Amino acid sequence: MKKVVEGSKGVAEAVKLCRPQVIAAYPITPQTHITENLAQFVADGELKAEYVHAESEHSAASIVLGASAAGVRAYTATSSQGLILMAEVLFNIAGMRLPIVLTCVNRALSAPINIWNDQQDSFAVRDAGFIQLYAETNQEAADTHIQAFKVAEHKDVQIPVMVAMDGYILSHSYEPLEIPSLKEVDGFLPPRKAPFKLDPKSPLSFGVMGPPTHYMETRYHLHQDLKNAKEVVKEVDKEFGEVFGRSYGIVENYFADDAEVVFVSLGSVVGTIREVVDTLRNEGKKVGCLKIRLYRPFPSDEVREMLEDKKKVLVVEKDISLGATGGLYSDLVTSLYGLPKVPSIYGFIVGLGGRDITTQTVLKIIEESEKPAQADKFIDLDEEIVKLSPLAERRS
Amino acid sequence: MPRNLLAPGHTACAGCGQALAARLVVNAAGPDIIVTNATGCLEVFTSLSPMSSWEVPWIHSLFENSAAIASGIEVALKALGKSGEVKVLAFGGDGGTADIGLQALSGMIERGHDVLYVCYDNEAYMNTGVQRSGLTPMFARTTTSPSGKVWWGNFRPKKDMPAIVAANGASYVATASVAYPRDLMKKVKKALTFEGPKYIQIHVPCPLGWVHEPSLTPRIAKLAVETGLYPLFEMENGKITRVRKVKNPKPITEYLKLQKRFRHLFKPGGEKEIEILQEIANENLRRYGISDSFAQVREEKEEEMKKFTLEELEKFDGRDGKPAYIAYKGKVYDVTESSLWEQGEHEGVHFAGTDLTEGMEDAPHLEDVLEGFPIVGELEGEGE
Amino acid sequence: MPIPWGIIAKPGTTRKNKTGSWRTYRPVVDLEKCTSCGTCELFCPEGIIVIEKPEKYKTDYDFCKGCGICAEVCPYEALEMEMEVK
């Protein structure tokens, strides 16, 4: 049924349909509307879940960890500082193979403090062992949550999933969304059957110490299982398409086949890039876009297949590993290394701290791509502000 | 059902108070429990992969989140309709409870989760090598609060966790000790009859960290209670309901001298510190009503002395049931109990209620005969 | 998926680890003095002393670390710590 709802509410509705048994969260902008909507559902008896008002994000993640270990379906959501505060717990959840689902409503990291959108937060924890999926639209955000529970709880996966969606741009914008029915979701997503859990009938000890003699093997297991989860993500997305009529793939090829210059990006900015691709193609320019939806595990094979004979690859992302390059850029370069013909790879940093990205921004990127490739080119910088700092002369 | 819900073969030090306490706690709680455990000694020595000592479901996550993990398990049990059948216990050390774990514990209590939190108080971060925590007692030597030329060991008093937890809203709060294992087990069973968040803090001596003979663990734990340094009490809904009384509190030196972590206090200059500790113990005795008498390591301080004028002193002549006081070198002594002072008369020569400083010069005995008689005040206007 | 190895352990499996090899002294009981009061059983940190009335003191020397607490707490002085002879 199609309703005009705020992106956050769409996610809340989708999560509600998945029948989580425990929800724990701590408020942080711009995640708040998701958890507020969920609270209202519980308050009205529409969702039978235990709703826990955690006293910090670290505890929110710990509460869902404990609940998941006890065998129930658990969910949390956060952004930015909250995600970084719970970083320790994220590694713990993944290491203990607990299939929770977490929404990261992407927001910039302090300092300076900034409540607007960029992707630094989810990128900062990409090593934690979570599956990471990035949503481009509100519809995709809602749908991906339903897929997320199924992927996480799959018998060959048992790995937590993070669904990343751009703060404000997606979370706080209103669009008509197709919200599935409970019957459809129940048919697609059965109740969780935990293969191992805390139960006095069959006692187990979770979180034992892994000494040097076998810590490495445990990490190897997780790494391999994470890589193999790519196939499960594909399967679940395909099945979702069959049931609900919408599917997204793990990457999407937007006119990249005959393109010489291909944008690579993730999240909502892909929507803006599509518009520019359409405009330029109308003018006869051979450009295309490769949208990355599954970021962890990284879909190297698919990326290689689509980009190996391109002239130029323009990576556009809203994050930077300070002192080096953007995360997507480095993963991409790694994927394309060793090919007989490696494209020229450009790394563009855009939209940090909520800096608006318009079609003009994307066109500027096209202009920049006429110059030699740079790995960490910041786009749309205000030169006047750049000059303000005392060290301005030392900067390139 | 195995006899013990904590199996042997764990790698706790010989004589470990915490191993003893943990076994008593899970045995008292029974098999239908789920235990969460903060990082620390107990977690490390019971769970070296692929082995575990725990015969009950158990989970270790991180250092500061035992209470939060327990909260999550508790609501999961609610969601599964199992709250009545299965109890949740959260374990943490003193550091994992009072310092890094305080926030999670506070949140758990504030939200009213039905969890029994047990703090194993060995008074330092033992697992990482005996570093000072918020529950390290004053003047205890730890690796980060050593004694040296400038420091006398730890320079802050113990954080009053039971009071904090009670104020936070726990329904049942108790302190316990491995010196009294049956009392500890009773408290665990009793706590589990309460609804909501409950807290038991167990004093557990650590032979390695406190530096004492492993066999003395129960004895040292007992002395901590008998001196008043570790009061044993129970609170229900914020009010103290039971206190373990001690008839004749022992001076704290008996407790301190058995542990090398306090050895530096017995060097010259350490008397002041020992006095401070004795005062802490005495304050506990007063505050919790543990005893009416107080052990002393030194004479009462001069400021508290009652002042007598000669006239006032005359009243205490020992006749007709009145107490017999005599003054000597500015101090007033109570000699009522002495067999040599019948009806306030001494050898027919001296009388109570007077100043006998000069009289001592002619006495056939020395002034040390006055030792042991309580000093009840000072004579006004006299020197010394 | 079976139980993930290395992160989750089965219950009571430390029984494979025979900590009895640690000790220097071992507790030896004088059966005449032992009254089966159970004090030692209560205080043993390893939990390996078994007193099943009217049977007397019995411990598991596979695990006894020789801490000496049982000897120290016995109200009847029925236990002595003797040097371990291998």
Residue B104: give its domain's CATH number.
3.40.50.970
Residue C3: pLDDT band (50, 70, 90) is confident
Tell me: do B289 and B313 sit in the same domain. no
For residue A162, is pLDDT > 70?
Answer: yes
Query: Which one of C5, C14, C73 has the shortest CB-CB distance to B53?
Result: C14
pLDDT in tens, A195-215: 999 999 999 999 999 999 999
Report yes or no on B4 lying in a domain.
no
Last residue of a domain, one of B253, B271, B296: B296
Q: Is the pLDDT of residue A315 over 80?
A: yes
User: pLDDT tens digit string along B60-78?
Assistant: 999 999 999 999 999 999 9
Q: Coil, strand, or helix at residue B236?
A: strand
Question: Is residue B179 one of the residues assigned to a domain?
Answer: yes
Q: Are residues B86 and B162 in the same domain?
A: yes
Same domain, B111 and B246: yes
Cα B216 to Cα A243: distance, rounded to the nearest angstrom: 70
Residue C6 near chain B (CB below 8 Å): yes
Are the CB atoms for C40 and C70 separated by under 8 Å?
yes
Omega before B249 cis (within 30°)?
Answer: no
pLDDT tens for residues A350-381? 999 999 999 999 999 999 999 999 999 999 99
State how far the Cα of A242 lies from the Cα of A95, in Å rounded to an integer: 33
Q: Cβ(A62)–Cβ(A39) under 8 Å?
A: no
Q: Residue A130: pLDDT above 50?
A: yes
* B287 and B319, same domain (yes or no): no
Within 10 angstroms of residue A191's Cβ, the number of other Cβ atoms is: 10
Both B313 and B274 in one domain: the answer is no
Would B12 be classed as within a structural domain?
Answer: no
Give residue B302's pLDDT.
46
Give mean pLDDT, residues B148-165. 96
Look at residues B296, B324, B349 and tell me which one is the last residue of a structural domain. B296
DSSP-derived letter for residue B209 is I
Band of pLDDT at residue B382, cut at 50, 70 and 90: low
Counting the structural domains of chain B, the total is: 2
Pairing of strands B58-60, A205-206: parallel
Specify if B24 maps to a domain. yes
User: B1 lies in a domain?
Assistant: no
CA distance B314 to B322: 11
Of C7, C12, C69, the CB nearest to B218: C69
Q: Are residues B261 and B211 located together in one domain of the fold?
A: yes
Q: List the 27-46 stretch of B: residues with Cβ below 8 A of C.
A: 46
Same domain, B316 and B258: no
- Within chain A, all domains assigned CATH 3.40.50.920 are found at 251-395
Q: What integer pLDDT is reported at residue B304 of this predicted model?
A: 57
Is the domain of B272 the same as that of B334?
A: no
Using the predicted structure, report yes or no on whether residue B384 has a pLDDT greater than 70: no
pLDDT at residue B296, rounded to an integer: 60
**CB count in 10 Å sphere of residue B371:** 8
**Cβ proximity of A360 and A328 under 8 Å:** no
Chain B CA closest to residue C65:
B14
Among C1, C6, C11, select the one facing A203 at the smallest CB separation: C11
Provide the domain limits for residue B281. Answer: 17-296
User: For residue A396, what pLDDT is reported?
Assistant: 59
**CATH assignment at residue B314:** 3.10.120.10
Q: Is residue B9 part of a domain?
A: no
**Residues of C with CB below 8 A from B56's CB?**
11
Residue B7 belongs to some domain of the structure: no
pLDDT band at B300 (very low <50, low <70, confident <90, very high): very low
- Token digits for A109? 């990291």
Residue environment code for A317-339, b if the CB has 16+ CB neighbours within 10 A, otherwise e: bbbbeeeebbbbbebbbebbeee
Long-range contacts of A357-362 (CB under 8 A, 24+ apart): A357/A269, A357/A272, A358/A272, A359/A272, A359/A275, A359/A276, A359/A279, A361/A272, A362/A263, A362/A272, A362/A273, A362/A275, A362/A276, A362/A316
Per DSSP, the residues of A232-261 read: HHHHHHHHHHHHHS----SEEEES-TT-SE
Please answer yes or no on whether A206 and C8 come within 8 Å at the CB atom. yes
Q: Which residues lie closer than 8 Å to A178 by C-beta, 6 or more apart?
A: A1, A2, A139, A244, A246
Element (H, E) at B376: strand B375-379
What backbone torsions phi and psi does residue B140 show, to the nearest 5 degrees?
Answer: -70, 140
pLDDT at residue number B347: 85
Q: Judge whether B234 lies within some domain.
A: yes
Q: Would you state the structure tokens that stand for residue B290, as one six-digit string?
A: 């543990």
Task: Answer whether residue B1 shows pLDDT above 50.
Answer: no
> Same domain, yes or no, for B369 and B262?
no
Average pLDDT value for residue range B91-109? 98
Residue B2 is predicted with a pLDDT of 60
Average pLDDT over residues A318-327: 97
Q: Is residue A104 within 8 Å of A76, Cβ to Cβ?
A: no
Half-sphere exposure of A119 (CA within 13 A, CB side): 31
Q: Do A205 and C5 touch (CB under 8 A)?
A: no
One domain, residues B199 and B122: yes
* Closest to A225 (Cα-Cα) out of A330, A62, A96, A71: A96
**Over residues A19-46, mean pLDDT:** 98
User: What average pLDDT does range B84-95 have in this prediction?
Assistant: 97
pLDDT per residue as tens digits for the range A271-305: 999 999 999 999 999 999 999 999 999 999 999 99
Residues of chain A with CATH 3.40.50.970: 2-244
**Which residues on neighbouring strands pair with residue A287, listed in sequence order?**
A261
CA distance B366 to B360: 7
- Segment among A72-76, A385-389, B42-46, B239-243 with least mean pLDDT: A385-389
Tokens 């030597």 — which residue?
B141
Q: Is the pLDDT of residue B301 over 60?
A: no
Most B CBs within 10 A among C67, C81, C82, C84, hence the mutation to make, goes to C67
* Residues in B touching C45 (Cβ below 8 Å): 12, 14-17, 19-20, 23, 217
Residue A64 pLDDT > 90: yes
Q: Which of B263, B296, B329 is a domain's end point?
A: B296
Measured CA to CA, the distance from residue B260 to residue B280 in angstroms comes to 20
Interface contacts (A, B; CB < 8 Å): 148
Q: Hey, which chains touch C, using 3+ CB pairs under 8 Å?
A: A, B
Tell me, what's the pLDDT at B343?
85
Asked if B188 reaches chain A (Cβ–Cβ under 8 Å), the answer is no
- Regarding beta strands A131-134 and A161-166, do their DSSP bridges make them parallel or antiparallel, or are they unpaired? parallel
Do residues B288 and B316 share a domain? no
- Please state, as a whole number, how many other Cβ atoms lie within 10 Å of the Cβ of residue A274: 20
Superfamily (CATH H level) for A2-244:
Thiamin diphosphate (ThDP)-binding fold, Pyr/PP domains (3.40.50.970)
CATH of the domain spanning A251-395: 3.40.50.920
